[in-house]
Amino acid sequence: MIATIATLALGILIGYMGQRTKFCTISGIRDYIMLKDTFRFKGILGLIAGGAVGYVAFHFIGGDIPNFPLGMDITSPGILIAGIVGSIGMGFFSVFAEGCPFRQHVMAAVQTLLKTCLI
């Protein structure tokens, strides 16, 4: 129950902030490669930095952060190949859909009929 409420609260917070700032991981990478525009690319850097600080801090103050750091978690070549193929495909088609899955959710909630179709 507590995880459900926590995810709902976190969802509301990031949904609100994501709508205001147009946060998008795929657009961040795309803008940086195409236009050398780092505005949205900073979002990914912030995500990695925030996650790293959070996981390290909560790990040391007694939070439930098991198997940290994960390290070499490649259990079989099949998983590695599936990961690479899936990630390349997701990156490729997300550019044509104009955003990462998070951005699709935000846009569906806000304004776009077609995004609802897409989700």
Partner 1 sequence: MKLKLKLGTYQVFFVGVVMGLGAALVQAYFSAQPPEAYGISFIGHPNDLFAWITNRVAGTEWPIRDAFLVYPVLTVGGVFIGSFAAAYRNGELKLREGPVRKKFLAVIFGFLIANLGLLWGSCPIRTSLMVSYGSIIAIVALASIAFGVVLAIIYIRIRAYRGVHEEVKQ
Residues 56-95 within binding reach of partner 1 (CB under 8 A):
57-59, 63-74, 79-80, 82-95
- In the complex, the smallest distance separating the C-beta of residue 77 from partner 1, rounded to whole angstroms, is 11
> By CB under 8 A, is residue 119 in contact with partner 1?
yes
**Number of residues in contact with partner 1, rule: CB under 8 A?**
99
Among 3, 36, 77, 78, binds partner 1 (CB under 8 A): 3
At closest approach, how far in Å is the CB of 93 from partner 1?
5
Work out the angle between the directed axes of helices 2-21 and 101-110 (0-180°, nearest 10).
80
The least CB distance from residue 32 to partner 1, in Å, is: 9
Sequence-ordered list of residues with C-beta below 8 angstroms from that of 43, at least 6 positions apart, any chain: 21, 23, 24, 25, 28
4-33 residues near partner 1, rule: CB under 8 A: 4-23, 25-26, 28-30, 33
Instruction: Give the 3-state secondary structure of 17-70.
Output: HHHHHCCCHHHHHHHHHHHCCCCCHHHHHHHHHHHHHHHHHHHHCCCCCCCCCC
